[in-house]
Amino acid sequence: MANTESPLLTSQKLAVRLGVTTLFESLDLTLHPGDRLGIVGPNGAGKSTLLRILAGIGKPDSGVVASRNLLRKAYVSQNIPFDPAMTVNAVLTSQLQSVFGSDLQEAAQSKFEKHLALLEENPDLGSDEKWLAELDKLQHRLDEHQAKSIDIPNARAGVIRVAGLEAFAEREFRHLSGGQQKRLQLVHALVSQPQLLLLDEPTNHLDVETVEWLEDVLLDLSESGFQMLGVPLLDEEPEPVAMAIVSHDRSLLDTMANRILEISGGESQFYQGNYEAHAIEKVRRMEEARTRNQRLANLMRRELAWLRRGPAARTTKQTARINRAATLEVNLQGAERKAAVKPKVELNFTASIESKERDASDFWISVKENFGSQTLLEFEKISVTHPAGAQHPLLAKHLSLVVKPSMRLAIVGPNGCGKTHLLRVLAGELVPQGGICKRHELLKVSYFDQHRNALEPKLTIRQTICPEGDFVHTSAGYLHIMSYLEKFLFSRHDADRLIRDLSGGEQARVLMAKMMLEQANTLILDEPTNDLDIPTLQGLEETLTNFTGGVVFTSHDRYFIQRVATHILVYSGTAKDKDNEMFTWTLVPNLEQALQLLTKLSPSRTESAAAAKKQPEKAETKKTEPSEPQSSAKQKLTYNEKKELDRLEALIPKLEEKLAAASESLNAAYTEGLPFTAVQERQLRVTDLENELKSCHAKWEGLYERM
């Protein structure tokens, strides 16, 4: 059903061109209160450009953008604009003062008093309608500022609680982690209570925990508005916040978006619903287009057959038919161009174990061996020291891990817990402290570094991939460098571009192209999903799930982890060992359990805000409505339902204990390298208990809500 509310922003016939390339054209977009628009498309399609135009920072080549009068907008860019030397407290104090500050109130008070002073000089003004109207206007403005005046320190403390930055209030911005900086940037934007929130890649380079926090904040914002901040509302009757989010994080789009705009190949299409609904509808449209083009092609073939009969068939009466054949050809070519899907990155990591043997002529040849159940990497009770020195906690102590063929291990945890350092130990770049490290004698590792240190900024793409000659050796044989680069969406013109001039996504593609030539049997990937667009992410997912070697990776992309990982090693907090502090790690079978562990370590930032938000509501309820006695509430349940509720309350803790024991047993199976059948048995046990516990929780919640 169409939205009848007054729109916040409308754009008509927007077009942006870069040289001869059209990013998008004839783009019409309307945003109403409560709209949550997800904007997707490949790198370079113009998503961020569109967001800047909507924010009023950029300008289109043609078209117009019209906003509601006095519309409050907040643009959260990928680059964070704060003074590096400012503390968290200073950044938020400045923002709170600009929105609610006493300076504005004092200015309004001064204007009001000056206007009143005119009456003392000229008493006749008391009957002057123009003077009285101005007095009313100044009085209204003063009342507004007085109503908005707040206790800045208390308000700041509440906003910092929402951001989860209580321990970092006096820390300078430059010394915050990337996730902490993004938290501060978002709450800073929310203090201004924007009616339209524009987010450009808000999850980029964040850890999983911060991405979860971001999603929770945006959900709270869409459901309850700015009450979550604990500051006075700027509008007496606030409308639902509208959002436009450019993101490659499919989990975030699946949760938040109620409409998707896809920009690709110069065209734009809208889809109703979240990311999953968009994917389903996109497949349906592609099938329809394929069918339509097939019918058009068949009709074109019939017309061509008729034309080929020669001049005898071409009477005056048939002129219209000839013209129709020409029109059909034009339509078919246009339809084929529109149906053409933008090429995807062709990733094909192949794994093998190769040994050297002498043939009958006594020459050394490579012989591929069967992977079987051989162990590629095995670490037993290793300890990893913190790179900053002994005064910091151990990153791991007595950690045991096994990596086998077709095993894909994700390492998950907050920024700063040592994920990258652990990967470098597994890759053999760093030596652990103590323990036993076993590596297969034919192990070959490729390491993807999130900082891309393996790329020389002053070299070209061609020099990086193929330092000598014009051919590269792939798993399928020799291939010309230009043909190889095309697989990674680089044209002939791109081949001579310097690495330092490439975008983050382009550098990631170069590094993957370089890694593929190494033909390793074990991949160590540090945040490979950073800067990648959704089509490339999908290609990487498919490649890794089909990879027969071992994979160990870190990523903030929850959807990617869910699709790729077969095992997850999750940060589970700190512990004391004698006088030393150390980080602890737990092996879990799925992302849901990993997120539960992280949530226990760092409770959702919404709990304190929600409690503050609900506190006055509870007090008000007590004044107006006397609470019903407990016994009358319980009458809503039948006798059997009460018994069921009691049974569930007793059963759930037991199931949780069983699940914990089953998970430990499964972890032990992985660590001890038990046969696959034993691991599968324990995995099924964990899955059954999880399903039973979920069912019990659902029943309990249903009965409890009725109470």
Measured between alpha carbons, how far is 43 from 479 in angstroms, rounded to an integer? Answer: 26
Average pLDDT over residues 626-635: 40
State the pLDDT confidence band at 73, using cuts at 50, 70 and 90: very high
Q: What pLDDT is recorded for position 75?
A: 95
Q: Does the structure show a pLDDT above 60 at 227? A: yes
Residue spans of alpha helices (H) in 635-675: 639-672
Measured between alpha carbons, how far is 164 from 485 in angstroms, rounded to an integer? Answer: 44
Average pLDDT over residues 289-297: 74
Q: What pLDDT is recorded for position 106?
A: 62
Average pLDDT over residues 302-329: 58
Count Cα atoms within 13 angstroms, Cβ side, for 151: 5
Q: What pLDDT is recorded for position 237?
A: 85
**DSSP string spanning 166-222?**
GGGTTSBGGGS-HHHHHHHHHHHHHHT--SEEEEESTTTT--HHHHHHHHHHHHHHH
Q: What pLDDT is recorded for position 705?
A: 65
State the pLDDT confidence band at 400, using cuts at 50, 70 and 90: very high
509-to-424, 530, 620 alpha-carbon distances in Å = 21, 11, 58
First-residue to last-residue Cα distance in the chain: 35
Q: What pTM value is reported for the model?
A: 0.67
Q: What pLDDT is recorded for position 551?
A: 95
Measured between alpha carbons, how far is 142 from 109 in angstroms, rounded to an integer? Answer: 6
Average pLDDT over residues 484-510: 87
Q: If one looks up domain 375-601 in CATH, what number appears?
A: 3.40.50.300
407-to-42, 569, 594 alpha-carbon distances in Å = 29, 13, 18
Q: What is the DSSP letter of 228?
A: G
For residues 38 and 260, the answer to whether their CB atoms sit within 8 Å is yes
State the pLDDT confidence band at 110, using cuts at 50, 70 and 90: confident
Measured between alpha carbons, how far is 689 from 663 in angstroms, rounded to an integer? Answer: 10
For residues 494 and 461, the answer to whether their CB atoms sit within 8 Å is yes
Q: What pLDDT is recorded for position 615?
A: 41
Q: Does the structure show a pLDDT above 70 at 184? A: yes
Tokens of 428: 């053999």
Measured between alpha carbons, how far is 300 from 367 in angstroms, rounded to an integer? Answer: 53
Q: Which residue would you say has higher pLDDT here, 131 or 383? A: 383
Measured between alpha carbons, how far is 161 from 241 in angstroms, rounded to an integer? Answer: 21
State the pLDDT confidence band at 411, using cuts at 50, 70 and 90: very high
Q: Is the dihedral of CA 162, 167, 171, 175 positive or negative?
A: negative
Pairing of strands 408-412, 567-577: parallel
Neighbours of 9 (CB within 10 A): 22
Among residues 499, 492, 516, which one has the least CA distance to residue 346?
516
Q: Does the structure show a pLDDT above 80 at 353? A: no
Tokens 């193929």 sit on residue: 466
Q: Does the structure show a pLDDT above 90 at 62? A: yes
Q: For domain 1-101+150-265, give the CATH superfamily.
A: P-loop containing nucleotide triphosphate hydrolases (3.40.50.300)
Average pLDDT over residues 599-623: 47
E strand or H helix that includes residue 396? strand 396-403
On average, the pLDDT of the chain sits at 81
Task: Count Cβ atoms within 10 A of the Cβ of residue 670 and give its class: 0-12 exposed, 13-18 middle, 19 or more buried.
Answer: buried
E strand or H helix that includes residue 688? helix 676-706
State the pLDDT confidence band at 619, using cuts at 50, 70 and 90: very low
Q: What pLDDT is recorded for position 632?
A: 38
Q: What is the DSSP letter of 309?
A: T
Tokens of 544: 């890794």
Highest-pLDDT range among 95-109, 137-151, 406-420: 406-420
Highest-pLDDT range among 145-154, 351-360, 655-664: 655-664
Q: What pLDDT is recorded for position 352?
A: 72
Q: Which residue would you say has higher pLDDT here, 65 or 372? A: 65
Q: What pLDDT is recorded for position 629?
A: 39
Average pLDDT over residues 537-544: 89
For residues 329 and 300, the answer to whether their CB atoms sit within 8 Å is yes
Average pLDDT over residues 153-157: 87
Tokens of 654: 């037991």
Average pLDDT over residues 202-209: 84
Please state, for a pLDDT cut of 70, what percent of the chain lies above it: 79
Tokens 């902490």 sit on residue: 180
Q: Does the structure show a pLDDT above 80 at 115? A: no
State the pLDDT confidence band at 246, using cuts at 50, 70 and 90: very high
Tokens 């570094």 sit on residue: 449
Measured between alpha carbons, how far is 102 from 108 in angstroms, rounded to an integer? Answer: 10
| CATH topology identical between 1-101+150-265 and 623-706 | no
Q: Which three-class secondary structure state does DSSP give residue 439?
A: strand
Q: What pLDDT is recorded for position 345?
A: 76
Average pLDDT over residues 560-572: 93
Average pLDDT over residues 567-573: 92
Neighbours of 242 (CB within 10 A): 23
Q: Is the dihedral of CA 74, 80, 86, 88 positive or negative?
A: positive
Measured between alpha carbons, how far is 226 from 241 in angstroms, rounded to an integer? Answer: 9
Q: What is the pLDDT of residues 1-21, one digit of tens each?
A: 445 568 999 999 999 987 777
Q: What pLDDT is recorded for position 613?
A: 44
Q: What pLDDT is recorded for position 289?
A: 76
Among residues 704, 707, 665, 662, which one has the least CA distance to residue 686?
662
Please state, for a pLDDT cut of 90, what percent of the chain lies above it: 31
CATH class for domain 623-706? mainly alpha
Task: Count Cβ atoms within 10 A of the Cβ of residue 124 and give its class: 0-12 exposed, 13-18 middle, 19 or more buried.
Answer: exposed
Tokens 């009313």 sit on residue: 136
Our measurement of the distance from residue 650's CA atom to the centroid of its chain's CA atoms, rounded to an integer in Å, reads 39
Q: Does the structure show a pLDDT above 90 at 361? A: no
Tokens 């201004």 sit on residue: 192
Measured between alpha carbons, how far is 125 from 471 in angstroms, rounded to an integer? Answer: 90
For residues 428 and 463, the answer to whether their CB atoms sit within 8 Å is no
Q: Which three-class secondary structure state does DSSP give residue 460?
A: strand
Q: What pLDDT is recorded for position 690?
A: 74
Q: What pLDDT is recorded for position 566?
A: 93
State the pLDDT confidence band at 362, using cuts at 50, 70 and 90: low
Q: Does the structure show a pLDDT above 60 at 339? A: no
Contacts of 512 (CB under 8 A, 6+ apart): 345, 347, 448, 488, 528, 540
Q: What is the residue extent of each domain of the chain?
A: 1-101+150-265, 278-339, 375-601, 623-706
Count Cα atoms within 13 angstroms, Cβ side, for 176: 30
454-to-297, 465, 491, 511, 563 alpha-carbon distances in Å = 49, 11, 22, 8, 27
Tokens of 15: 């077009």
Phi and psi, residue 531, nearest 5°? 75, 0
Q: What pLDDT is recorded for position 146?
A: 59
Q: What pLDDT is recorded for position 369?
A: 63
For residues 427 and 445, the answer to whether their CB atoms sit within 8 Å is yes
For residues 212 and 603, the answer to whether their CB atoms sit within 8 Å is no
Q: What pLDDT is recorded for position 570?
A: 94
Q: Which residue would you say has higher pLDDT here, 531 or 663? A: 531
Q: Which three-class secondary structure state does DSSP give residue 133?
A: helix
Average pLDDT over residues 512-527: 92
